[in-house]
Structure 1
């Protein structure tokens, strides 16, 4: 076959021959969408000068220095989220992204606040997972004052300045979990609740939605006071063991956040009960196994790939919009898994 020529490429891209020549020799004189169209056409037809076009187009792309601060890297959920965001940044359309991805093991407000300020000095836009605390709010405002936009992930945050948000509608998450108990539990009774921290606003909203469903639809359930696990599997296990001892008629457990593997271990250690329902969060190896063996009845999970893409897209939008561009809010649907769907 005859190898594609510049006129062939121009025809495939829907542009003139002179435009293709300018992409090759003077790429800065061609609008970015046109450059990308020519590049895509060159890939499609196998144009012999593909490497030259790729180099020319990439050289004119704006570099976005983005930062993402996640919680403990020892937790599977945050490792998986970090991997997904890194992958999304590498393949995000026509944008050139330099990503700074960091995990924070010490979740004390002082450490979180200091790390936010540190990353704000090194990045043009910053996404964070953090507790609601005055020190954290002050650090966010300090970064915003420097013209660096902040995007809150998973749970919304409040400060004096505008903070964008990417995550689930957490009130709906709680309502959906409550619906599951209402439909699966045979005899309504007491339900235990675990949260990672009372300062994580997504879990606070989960609990609010959870309780509101029962107030509206089935008041025969009694929701116990939530127990904080401080994101520790050991603490979660201890809480569940205590709940099962002090509330022998407990009909279910809602693990809204923090230490799900510890809760699973405690549930596995108790005698199997067909009338007990446990709803957990996030699908990874341990929770998937707990679904399969019947320890968990249902899992509510972030769609990881979409979460990652929306995070990168919102960081870029916030950076381009500038200091006075306002906050962006992206809430997307969640995945539901049962023992029959994994």
Structure 2
């Protein structure tokens, strides 16, 4: 009879996290770990907490979430080092969020690392343990990096991957475009721009160990091998997003492949590709498709060197990552439609 009375009392008001913990016969800390998908909880305890949530119709209390906003939040943003123009855009967009961060009592420390070196990236991630409550990471999909992310999660740090995902890790969210779809879009544009004359297509990536670059190449090849079979896609060359290295690689492509009809640049460093095409006098002859509407890409679109740019909105990505970091801290829901990052296509005719 006492049990029935307890359930009736719970049903008469909004269930709290303490109610869930009591109903599941676990500690408050364990219930919190389960609801926030943190590791270190026995499977039976997870099942009991989830059953209690369903029985009590538990939902996070918005009032409690608002109260949590009075706490200060420390977040870290891990970005590639070097002169990547898109990364510079991400940093500029973060600076534009200063007032929003102040309003929500949040601070973000930017950390730069050579993301093409998995050991360096993993070491940096491990060093963040206890230094921030959320790490927003743009990095390499590599076992060392995956392990470092899982270690952060085990220690209670939230992890959000940005632009390039590490899906086998226990990261809490990914913010970025569908990169396979972006690659398919690039192939559709490139194939139609080239026309029906046979030839070869060069692919320049930063690193195929970057999940976004690998997925773009996958999507690109899916379309090229089924819809544009008169074009031969050459093996991807990897320039580590370096304009200088990309210029060397494209000079070699042009010299060794006289039937080169087009180039798809999967990552950054497009200024080097542009320089190589112009030096060879083939900037109007070779179709060139790239990513990210940087100032240099805008100039190349306008003068005809670049034919199209596949873009992701750096501002939307930064704001989405910050909103999701805050939602994790305050246990408020995330609106999936608001956080979906679109794939934009720019030609010289529709530049914003």
- Tell me if the contact between 1:140 and 1:159 (Cα under 8 Å) persists in the aligned partners: no
Q: What is the CA-CA distance between 1:151 and the residue it aligns to?
A: 0.8
Q: Which residue matches 2:99?
A: 90
Q: Which residue matches 1:115?
A: 124
Q: Does 2:140 correspond to 1:134?
A: no
- Tell me if the contact between 2:76 and 2:134 (Cα under 8 Å) persists in the aligned partners: yes
Q: Which residue matches 2:160?
A: 151
SS at match of 1:261: helix
Pairing 1:200-239 to 2, within 5 Å after superposition: 200-239=210-249
- Tell me if the contact between 1:254 and 1:278 (Cα under 8 Å) persists in the aligned partners: yes
TM-score by length of structure 1 reads: 0.77
| Residue ranges of structure 1 left out of the alignment (5+ in a row) | 1-29, 36-56
2: CA distance between counterparts of 1:338 and 1:109? 35
Q: Which residue matches 1:14?
A: none
2: CA distance between counterparts of 1:144 and 1:252? 43
The partner residue of 2:297 within 271, 283, 287 is 287
2: CA distance between counterparts of 1:293 and 1:214? 27
The partner residue of 1:304 within 314, 330, 339 is 314
- Tell me if the contact between 1:148 and 1:319 (Cα under 8 Å) persists in the aligned partners: no
CA shift digits 1:234-289 (9 cap, x unpaired):
21111100110111111100000142121111111112364421001111121111
Q: Which residue matches 2:271?
A: 261
Summarize the Cα distance change of 1:256–1:300 in structure 2 as closer, same or farther, 3 Å threshold: same
| Residue ranges of structure 2 left out of the alignment (5+ in a row) | 1-61
1: CA distance between counterparts of 2:73 and 2:263? 43
Which deviates more from structure 2 when the two are superposed, residues 172-181 or residues 284-293? Answer: 284-293
2: CA distance between counterparts of 1:185 and 1:165? 34
Which deviates more from structure 2 when the two are superposed, residues 109-118 or residues 198-207? Answer: 109-118
1: CA distance between counterparts of 2:169 and 2:227? 37
Q: Which residue matches 1:77?
A: 86
The partner residue of 2:179 within 170, 176, 193 is 170
SS at match of 1:251: strand
SS at match of 1:121: coil
Summarize the Cα distance change of 1:32–1:121 in structure 2 as closer, same or farther, 3 Å threshold: closer
Tell me how many residue pairs correspond in the alignment.
287
Q: What is the CA-CA distance between 1:32 and the residue it aligns to?
A: 8.5
Summarize the Cα distance change of 1:226–1:176 in structure 2 as closer, same or farther, 3 Å threshold: same
2: CA distance between counterparts of 1:222 and 1:112? 35
2: CA distance between counterparts of 1:182 and 1:160? 35
SS at match of 1:209: helix
- Tell me if the contact between 1:231 and 1:259 (Cα under 8 Å) persists in the aligned partners: yes
1: CA distance between counterparts of 2:344 and 2:255? 32
SS at match of 1:340: helix
Q: What is the CA-CA distance between 1:106 and the residue it aligns to?
A: 6.6
1: CA distance between counterparts of 2:147 and 2:314? 30
Q: Which residue matches 2:349?
A: 340
Q: What is the CA-CA distance between 1:189 and the residue it aligns to?
A: 2.0
- Tell me if the contact between 1:85 and 1:311 (Cα under 8 Å) persists in the aligned partners: no
SS at match of 1:262: helix
- Tell me if the contact between 1:196 and 1:229 (Cα under 8 Å) persists in the aligned partners: yes
TM-score by length of structure 2 reads: 0.74
1: CA distance between counterparts of 2:168 and 2:180? 21
SS at match of 1:91: helix
1: CA distance between counterparts of 2:321 and 2:126? 20
Which deviates more from structure 2 when the two are superposed, residues 127-136 or residues 332-341? Answer: 332-341
- Tell me if the contact between 1:190 and 1:223 (Cα under 8 Å) persists in the aligned partners: yes
